[in-house]
Amino acid sequence: MENLPQSRRKFIKTLTLLIVSGGLLVRYLTPRTIGKRRVLASAAAADVPPGGALVFRDERLALLRDDAGFYALSLVCTHLGCTVTVSEDALSCPCHGSRFDRLGKVLRGPADRPLTRFNVEQHGERVEVVA
Ligand code: FES
């Protein structure tokens, strides 16, 4: 191998280091779930009657249905994270008394943000809650 002058060798070394560290930085800062569809829960459409809800206790979410169709809400209270319970007309948090309407909007605090809404996809007779 030819003898490169010290400054050129140093430049190539620095450039290589920058390229490698830049690639690692981009990989570190890019979320791994981008573009990946993840099914959080799945149910038969017939299992959720109009005006009703199906609760997935382990996943802490509810699949609800109204006249417009299906939608899903997180049951994690936006105040301090307790699990919200679903009743016919509202969702209530047993910890500090927050209440949410069936669309997840805050009716009564201390929670000040609505419940997180998940995407829902219907494939024939199956309904999937996806993230
Ligand atoms: S955790 Fe739900 S109201 Fe406080």
Do residues 64 and 84 touch, judged by C-beta distance below 8 A? no
Do residues 131 and 93 touch, judged by C-beta distance below 8 A? no
From 84, 91, 98, give the residue whose CB has the most ligand 1 atoms within 8 Å, as the site to mutate. Answer: 98
User: Distances from the Cα of 73 to the Cαs of 8, 23, 41, in angstroms?
Assistant: 59, 37, 12
Q: pLDDT at residue 29 above 70?
A: yes
Q: pLDDT at residue 130 above 70?
A: yes
Q: What pLDDT shows up at residue 34?
A: 63
The response to whether residue 96 sits with its C-beta less than 6 Å from ligand 1 reads yes
pLDDT in tens, 46-82: 888 888 888 999 999 999 988 888 999 999 999 999 9
The response to whether residue 127 sits with its C-beta less than 6 Å from ligand 1 reads no
CA-to-CA distance for 5 and 10, rounded, in angstroms? 9
Q: Select 39-130's CATH number: 2.60.40.10, 3.30.450.20, 2.102.10.10, 3.30.300.30.
A: 2.102.10.10
Nearest CA to ligand 1 atom 3: 96
What is the value of pTM for the model shown?
A: 0.67
The DSSP H or E segment spanning 62 is: strand 61-66
Domain ranges (residues) in the chain: 1-30, 39-130
Name the average pLDDT for the chain: 87
The residue to which tokens 């490698």 are assigned: 20
